[in-house]
Structure 1
Amino acid sequence: MRHGIWLGGTLSLLTFAAHAQADAQLALGSRARVSQLFAYPNNCSAICYRDWSLEQTVEHYLKQSVQRDGYSNAQVSVSSKDGQLHATISGVPDGYGQPLEQLLASGDLAYQGASKLNAEGKWQYNWYFFLPLGMALENRRSVELLHFPPDYSLTQAQDYLESKTTDRWAELLTQNGVPPEQTPAYQTIIDIAPIAAPASAGGSLEDTYSYFQAYQTSMVAQLTANKQSTAPSLPMVAFGSPVRDWVNQQYGVNLKVLGLDQITPAPGRTVAVLGSNHPSYIWYAADPENHDGDQSKADQAGIKVMGQDISAACWQASMGRDPGADAATTLHSCTQKWQVADQQQTCQLFYTSIRDLTPAQAQAKCAASEQTAAGT
C-alpha cells in the first residue's frame, strides 16, 4: 500500500536567494513504508555493522541532504507516533521538504518494480533495494545518470556518494574549478537500476530496466528541473554504454561518448544531455592485459579516455554553473582546452591519478611521450 506525504504549510519552493527559514514538517508514512524506502536495516545480518534504529537511519540520510544543500546549521529530528514516522527539519527554506516528497513518491514506484522482479523470481540474493538518499535536495547544479550503486555504498558507508566512481568524478570536477565542498551539488545521481549490488552485477541488472521505467522517467523529470521554474533545466551526464543506450531508447536520441543531445523529460521542457564514459572505465581501458601486455598502448588508451572524461567533467561544471549557456559551445571549449591546449596536463593527470606516479614522474613521462610523438 502506498502512503501519501504531507508538508506543513504551503508547498511553495522559494528561491535560495530568499533564505526564508522555516521548520519543514514531513509525514513520511508507516514504519513499513519508511523501512522499504530507506533500505532499513542498512547493514545488518546476525550482527549489525551500525546498530541504528529506523528513526536514526532516516535522520542520517536527511542530515546528509541538508549538509549537501549547504545548510550547515540545519537540524533534523525523526520521531514515531501511532506507527507513523515524522521528520522535522529546521533552519532550511520554506518548502524545503517538497523535493523529498517527490523522491519518496518516486521511490514507491521503484519499490513496486523491485517487488515485481522478486515475484517473478528475478531478484538475486546479494541485491539491495537502494534509492539515491542523502543527495542535495534543493541546491543541486547538475544530474548524473548512472547504472547502479555499488553494494558497499549501502552496507558499509550508508552514503550514496561514497564510491570509487563518485570520488574519481569529484576529482575531475575540482580540476574544472568546482570547490571540493561543492562537488556533491553537482553529483545528484539517478541510477536507472535502484539496486545496490556487487560490481560484477552490471550485466544481469541490464535486464531489470523495464521494471523501473515509471521510477526512472519521473526521477529524470524531477531532478533536472530547476528550482526556479522559469530558469533553464539542469544539465545531465549519462555515464557508460548501458546508460547511454537507455537514454537513446527512452528519449529517441543518439548519445555517444562526448555526444550531445536534448531530451524532453516533461512537456515544454528540454534538458541538455552529454554522453560520457563510465567513470571507472578508464581502469579497463588502461589495463595492459587488454592490449596484449603492451604498457605503452595501455597508457595511450588511458590518456585518450582521460581526455574524454575531463572534457565531460568540464562541460558538467560549466553548465552546472550556468545552465543557460550554449551546451554545444561549452562542449567545444572544453574539448579544445583538455584535448588540444592542455594535452600535457591531461597526460599528467592520467599518470598521477591512474598510474599513481608523482607529479615529477608524470611530467617526465608526458614530456618523453610528446618527444616520441614529434619524432625528436
Structure 2
Amino acid sequence: MTTPPFIMGARSRAALFALALTAALATPQVQATTESDGVVYDLGSESTLRNLYPDASWLPAAYAGDYTNLAETIEHYTEQSLRRDGVEAPRVDVRFVDRDSTRTVRVTIHPENEITRRYADLHPAFFDSDHAGQARAGVEACKAAKGCWDPKPRQGQPWAMFLPLGLPMATQQTVLFLDYPPIPALTGRDYLNNYTMCRWGRVMGAAGADTPTAFETIVDARPIAAPGSGESQYLPDPITRFDTNTATGADYLSPMLRLLTETDQASRPVAVFGSDARNAWARMVGRTSVDVLDAGTTHLAKDAPATPWIATNHPDVTSYNCCPGDPASRCGDSHNLVADEKKDFVAACWLITMSEKPGQSPETVRQQCENRWMNAPDDQAQQALCVQAKLDNNNPAATCRSYTDAWNYCSAHNTNACASYDCHYDLDKVSQPVPAPSERPAGWGQTCNQYR
C-alpha cells in the first residue's frame, strides 16, 4: 500500500512482517515435522477438541447447524488464522488417527515455512489443559452454579462458549483485551465479523497500521458468545470464573494472555477496551481502578516478562456519540464524538509505536501519541480524525455513508466534523482531492455500515 500523504508513521508491509517474524518466531519450543513439504502435528484428542471448538455436539440448537463437522471447523479456523498471519493461500488438512488408544486430531499445513512451523508449537498449546481447557472449566463451573449461566435468556440468542479462533497467533503485533464476543462472531464463523472489530480496524489503519489484523489478536474477559448489547451485567464475573485457581472457576485469562503476548523473553503490548474489561484488568494487575488512557506494565506470572499495557474506551464508543449540541433524540446525553475519537487514535498510535520499538516506556509513548492526536494534531491528523468521526456519528443524518463523502465533508468544512448535523458539503469548497483507493489507509475501503 502506498503511504497516504496525510498519515505519518505508517510502516510498510514488509517491515511489519520482518519485525513480527524476528520477535514471534525466535526460539520455537518444539521442532515441527514435515511431510510432503507440509507441517504436520497432533493438535490433541478428538474428544477434547470437540469440546473446545464450536461443535454441534454441545452448541445450542440455534447455532449447531453452523458447526456439524469438526474436521472442517478446525480447518476453517486454522486457515483463517494463517491468512491473518500473512501466509498466502494456506491449505489445512485435518484427519483423525488412532494413537495410544486415543483418537487424535492430526493437522497438516501447506506451505511449510517459518510461520507455519511455529503453528506446531502454538496451536496445540492454545488448546491444551492450561489454556483453552481452562476456559471450558470456567464455563462448566458457571453452569454448575445456580443462576450463573444465561440467567436472562434472549429468544434465539443463547449463550455459548466461544474461544478467540481464527486470529493471528504467530506474527501478531499486539493483544487486545475485551469483554466478550458478540453472537454474530460465532454464527458468522469469524471472530472479527462484527461492527466492533470492523470499526477498530479502520482506526488502526487511519493511525498508521498497514495491516490492522496484525493488531487484532483478542483475549476476552468472558469467553462466551452472547447478545451484543445489554448483556455485560448478566455475564459471569471474569475473575471468579476465568482467573482463579479455586473450585468456582479456572485459571484462563492470565495464561492465555501470556501465551499470546510472550515472545523471545519479551512481551507484546496489550490494550484494554471498555469499562468491563478495564474493571477486570484492574483486579488482575492489583489496582483499584483503571481509567481511559492509563498505561503501565504488569507481569502475567511471576516468571513472565513485563507486559506493557494501555486502557481505552470500548471500540464502539463513538458509534453511540454525537457532536456537541446535536438535538437528535438518539444522541441522548452522549455528545463526545470528537473527544472520544482522539482517545481512540491515541490508543491506536500507542499500539503501533510500542510494537515497533519494544521496551519503550508505556507512559512516555502515551504522551507522544497524545501530542500527535489529542493535544496538537496537525492538518493531516485533523483530517483523519474528522473522516473517522463522520463515519461513526450516532445521528444517521450526520453520518456520511461513504469514505468519499466523509473526506469531502471534512475538506469542505476545514476538518470540523461538527460543522453541521448532516453530511452536506459544497464541492466547490473541497480543497483536497479524495485520495485514490490505493492511497487510503488500510481498512477504509469499507464503512462498516453493514453491521449497524
Counterpart of 1:189 in 2: which secondary structure?
strand
Give the AA of the match of 1:113: G
Higher RCO (CA-CA < 8 Å; seq separation 6+): 2
Pairing 1:21-170 to 2, within 5 Å after superposition: 22=34, 23-41=38-56, 45=61, 50=66, 52-82=68-98, 83-90=103-110, 91-93=112-114, 94-105=117-128, 106-121=131-146, 122-124=148-150, 126-155=158-187, 157-170=188-201
Q: 2:338 aligns with which of 294, 303, 322?
A: 303
Contact 2:93 2:108 survives alignment (8 Å): yes
- Correspondence for 1:356 among 387, 399, 421: 399
Q: Please state how far the C-alpha of 1:310 moved relative to its aligned partner.
A: 1.1
Secondary structure of 1:204's counterpart equals: coil
Q: How many pairs were matched up?
A: 351
Query: TM-score by structure 2 length?
Result: 0.70
CA distance in 1, matches of 2:136, 2:331: 46
Shift of 1:43: 7.9
The structure-2 alpha-carbon separation of the partners of 1:54 and 1:362, relative to structure 1 and needing over 3 Å to count, comes to same
Question: In 2, Cα distance between the equivalents of 1:243 and 1:365?
Answer: 37
Question: 1:194 Cα shift?
Answer: 0.3
Aligned counterpart, 1:9: none
Q: Secondary structure at the match of 1:205?
A: coil
Q: Which amino acid aligns with 1:197?
A: A
1:244 aligned residue: 278
Secondary structure, in 3 states, of the residue corresponding to 1:161?
coil
Q: For residues 111 and 51 of structure 1, what CA distance do their matches in structure 2 show?
A: 18
Whether the 8 Å CA contact 1:26–1:87 is kept in 2: the answer is yes
Note the C-alpha offset of 1:324. 2.9
In 1, Cα distance between the equivalents of 2:125 and 2:209?
28
Q: Work out the CA distance in 2 between the residues paired with 1:137 and 1:78.
A: 19
Shift of residue 296, structure 1, vs aligned partner = 11
Q: 1:67 to 1:101 in 2, by over 3 A?
A: same
Q: Given residue 61 of structure 1, which amino acid in structure 2 is its aligned partner?
A: Y
Sort the Cα spacing of 1:281 and 1:263 in 2 relative to 1 into closer, same or farther, 3 A.
same
After superposition, the Cα gap between the structure-2 partners of 1:248 and 1:62, relative to the gap in structure 1 and judged at 3 Å, is: same
After superposition, the Cα gap between the structure-2 partners of 1:115 and 1:287, relative to the gap in structure 1 and judged at 3 Å, is: farther
Q: Distance in 2 between matches of 1:116 and 1:314?
A: 39
- Cα distance in 1, alignment partners of residues 416 and 326 from structure 2: 23
Shift of 1:283: 2.2
State the 1:248 CA deviation.
Answer: 1.1
> Cα deviations across residues 9-58 of structure 1 (Å, max 9, x unaligned)?
xxxx84399xx994433323333311111111398838965465110010
Q: Which moved more, 1:115-124 or 1:38-47?
A: 38-47
| Cα distance in 2 between the residues matched to 1:47 and 1:282 | 30
Q: Does 1:220 align with 2:220?
A: no
Q: Is the 8 A contact 2:270 2:310 kept in 1?
A: yes
For the structure 1 residues 303 and 89, does the alpha-carbon distance in structure 2 shift closer, same or farther, using more than 3 Å as the test?
same
CA distance in 2, matches of 1:241, 1:295: 20
Cα distance, 1:250 vs. partner? 1.3
Residue correspondence of structure 1 range 272-291 to structure 2 within 5 A: 272-286=308-322
* Aligned match of 1:194: 223
Show CA shifts across 1:238-294 (max 9, x none): 001111111111111453111111111132511111010000122234389998959
The answer to whether the Cα contact below 8 Å between 1:244 and 1:275 also exists between their aligned partners in 2 is: yes
Identify which of 352, 356, 378 aligns with 1:321: 356
Distance 1:209 1:47, change over 3 A: closer
Quick one: distance in 2 between partners of 1:371 and 1:145? 35
Structure 1 145/47 Cα, relative in aligned 2: closer, same or farther at 3 Å? closer
Bigger shift: residues 35-44 or 71-80: 35-44
CA distance in 2, matches of 1:237, 1:317: 11
TM superposition shift of 1:110: 0.8
Q: How does 1:256-267 map to 2 (within 5 A)?
A: 256-266=291-301, 267=303
Change (3 A) 1:311 1:37: same
Q: 1:297 and 1:34, CA in 2 relative to 1: closer, same or farther beyond 3 A? A: closer
Tell me the percent identity: 26
| One-letter amino acid matched to 2:94 | V
- Could you tell me which runs of 5 or more consecutive residues in structure 1 were left unpaired when the two chains were aligned: 1-12
Mapped contact 1:348–1:366 kept (Cα < 8 A): no
Deviation digits for residues 180-231 of structure 1, max 9, x if unmatched? xx222211100010001001211111535411111001112111112x33xx
Please give the per-residue CA displacement for 1:125-147, whole angstroms capped at 9, x wherever unaligned: 51010111111111110010000
Partners of 1:70 and 1:319 in 2: how far apart?
Answer: 21
Equivalent residue for 1:15, pick from 26, 51, 54: 26
> Contact between 1:77 and 1:88, CA under 8 Å: does it hold in 2?
yes
